[in-house]
Structure 1
Amino acid sequence: MPDTPPLLIHRHGSIVTLEFNRPQALNALDLALAQAFLAAMRGIAADDSVRAVLLKGAGRAFMAGGDLASMRDDVEQAARELISTMNQALALLHALDAPVIAQVHGAVAGGGLSLALMCDFVLAAEGTKFNMAYINLGTNSDLGGSWALPRLVGLRRALEISMLGESYDAQQALQMGLINRVVPAQELDATCTALATRLAAGPTRAYGRMRRLMRQSFDRSLPEQLQAELDGFAASARTADMQEGIAAFFGKRKAEFQGR
């Protein structure tokens, strides 16, 4: 329906859930959804109280790629506008301190798979199908797919996944390293909520340093990475959370982090 928002935003304490809400199109990505996602990411990036982010899809799928029907009149111009909007959102996602979880089911294809791969954790329902799909349309990947995929599975396997355009089930995706866990469909919501709750209770700023160190390690020499680790550790030492972690260690109790 025209008055149905393309993205639903749910806030539970320090956890924000973004739910793609185009179920009639298997949440295929169009400009309105991309713009809504960018606006949501800007809000999250500006809110230090957010300590975990969960991405999910309404209806029968997480996201079945880009909405080709919305691009048909002028593919190049539509793609430039759509992808550039999503690229801004992904840059914000990449820079977050808060961990990001993709809760996937049904179809995870094209841009949907690229988006999931850009998250820190991917939990999939049994029966989920994955396909890079781009090559079947005669194009290359977008939304960071070509950046994330070889980092996750290695160059040789990444070329196979992206150039053959084949579908993989959840167990195959798990074996290849595309996802973290396969969960019975009826348990997916509860499992992802439990993980988000656990992460939201952790040392948020340290999570941010850890996720950036891991990603940037591919582009640094060992001496550069060692220095970045030292700088990050020193920055952590100035946080209330590390002070709490040390106090809890010596007090033989569980740390109660505040994300500061």
Structure 2
Amino acid sequence: MLLSVDQALATARQWSTIAAIGDNELPLLAVDMRGVPRSFRVNNQDDELAKLIVNAPWVNVVVVDDDLDSVFAPLVDAFDVVIGDGTASEAAVDVTNADSCLQELAGAIAASPLASVALAQLLRVSHDLPIGQALHAESLTYAMLQTSERFQMWLAGRDNNTQFDPEEQAVTLDLAGSLLTITLQRPARRNALNVAMRDQLCQALELVDLDRSIDGALLVGAGSNFCAGGDLDEFGSTPSPAAGHHVRMVRSLPTLMHRVANRVRVHVHGACVGAGIELPAFANSIIAHPDATFRLPEIAFGLVPGAGGTVSVTRRCGRHRTAWLALTGTTIDAEHA
């Protein structure tokens, strides 16, 4: 699975050898740069490889070590996921067994190839865009993937008889002096984010933004979990992907969270899945209980994170680590985070 840098360059020059996602070819280029000689820079081969992979229709993964020459930093940065011992590159995911990590990545990519490639391509272009533009790009990518076979198969396998309750009190507000406490109030559903919670949370954040008598807000979740992500019973319930994109732009929780980032503190605990970490990551201040766990599961559904995670999480830990978290769907604890 692991290619040398010379093999990787030869492969990248021939896109057709790896780009046929629909023809049982794994859209993954895994390169071993441990011990790569400085001579690889002859004839600007490192620059050529970097330019090829940043536009490639596959996921690029590199394995590095402490001995990596700093002259290769621009090439390493061009990859989507960097695996190492944590000291070779600031972007590296610290693992004890690179082969095991690669197998995990390959399995996840093979199960959901279109979403995996779309995520990598999205992060390449959006990681340094202004927040608003990056959120637009995420939403468009999410909408596009809602039409994919993988997501439609996942959706068809669910027993979805969603009954919307417009009267549901999904968010409660408590004003004590000038501090507004916003509580997610669906503990029986692990505070899964549904339409009612989205709309009520939008209203609460708009209040924080507009009412200057409120000095700050505290966002918490009732019960044993902060938020288990989007309510799966409502996935696919919008009339069309285009309509869903429009709603995400008009009623944008990520945009509001970013707007009030310096006025909202978030206390998280228990399961923080999908939106349960994507939204809090916009806040300037997050306090995690020791029992908090974090996961981005959307790739397994055939989607990308759609609650702002490709924007917020990326700006906290970088696009390379965000890609690894999203591709593998791995769960990390508060200490690791």
Q: TM-score surpassing 0.5?
A: yes
Deviates more, 1:1-10 or 1:41-50: 1-10
- Structure 2 residue corresponding to 1:136, chosen from 293, 296, 300: 300
In structure 1, the partner of 2:177 is 13
1:70 aligns with 2:70: no
CA shift, 1:88, in A, is 2.8
1:28 aligns with 2:192: yes
The size of the alignment, in residue pairs, is 173
Q: Which amino acid aligns with 1:104?
A: V
Q: Distance in 1 between matches of 2:299 and 2:292?
A: 20
1:121 aligns with 2:121: no
Q: Which amino acid aligns with 1:32?
A: A
In structure 1, the partner of 2:205 is 41
Q: Deviations over 1:86-124 (max 9, x none)?
A: 853332332237521111111000111101111111111
Q: Which amino acid aligns with 2:266?
A: A
CA contact (8 A) 1:129 1:168 kept: yes
CA shift, 1:6, in A, is 0.6
CA contact (8 A) 2:279 2:312 kept: no
**Counterpart of 1:172 in 2: which secondary structure?**
coil
Q: Distance in 2 between matches of 1:28 and 1:61?
A: 9
Q: Deviations over 1:193-218 (max 9, x none)?
A: xxxxxxxxxxxxxxxxxxxxxxxxxx
In structure 1, the partner of 2:267 is 103
CA contact (8 A) 2:183 2:219 kept: yes
Q: Which amino acid aligns with 1:156?
A: H
Matches within 5 A, 1:241-260: none
Q: Which amino acid aligns with 1:30?
A: N
CA contact (8 A) 1:53 1:99 kept: yes
Q: Distance in 1 between matches of 2:261 and 2:296?
A: 28
CA shift, 1:52, in A, is 1.4
CA contact (8 A) 2:257 2:279 kept: no
| Structure 1 pair 79–137 and aligned structure 2 pair: CA distance change class (3 A) | farther
CA contact (8 A) 1:34 1:82 kept: no
- TM-score with structure 2 setting the length: 0.47
Where is the helix percentage greater, Structure 1 or Structure 2? Answer: 1
CA shift, 1:69, in A, is 0.8
| Unpaired stretches in structure 2, ≥5 consecutive residues | 1-164
| Unpaired stretches in structure 1, ≥5 consecutive residues | 174-260
| Structure 1 pair 87–144 and aligned structure 2 pair: CA distance change class (3 A) | farther
CA contact (8 A) 2:300 2:329 kept: yes
In structure 2, the partner of 1:80 is 244
CA contact (8 A) 2:199 2:251 kept: no
- TM-score with structure 1 setting the length: 0.60
Q: Which amino acid aligns with 2:314?
A: P
Q: What is the root-mean-square deviation in Å for CA atoms of aligned residues?
A: 2.6
CA shift, 1:137, in A, is 1.6
In structure 2, the partner of 1:209 is none
Q: Distance in 1 between matches of 2:285 and 2:214?
A: 17
Q: Which amino acid aligns with 1:10?
A: D
In structure 2, the partner of 1:150 is 314
In structure 2, the partner of 1:166 is 330
Q: Distance in 1 between matches of 2:209 and 2:200?
A: 14
**Counterpart of 1:69 in 2: which secondary structure?**
helix
CA shift, 1:83, in A, is 5.9
**Counterpart of 1:34 in 2: which secondary structure?**
helix
**Counterpart of 1:59 in 2: which secondary structure?**
coil
Q: Which amino acid aligns with 2:192?
A: A
CA contact (8 A) 1:17 1:56 kept: yes
Deviates more, 1:57-66 or 1:92-101: 92-101
CA shift, 1:130, in A, is 0.6
- Structure 2 residue corresponding to 1:54, chosen from 214, 218, 222: 218
Task: Please say which structure displays the higher CA radius of gyration.
Answer: 2
CA contact (8 A) 2:205 2:260 kept: no
CA contact (8 A) 1:104 1:124 kept: yes
CA shift, 1:154, in A, is 1.6
Between the two proteins, what is the percent identity of the paired residues? 28
| Structure 1 pair 97–114 and aligned structure 2 pair: CA distance change class (3 A) | closer
CA contact (8 A) 1:60 1:106 kept: yes
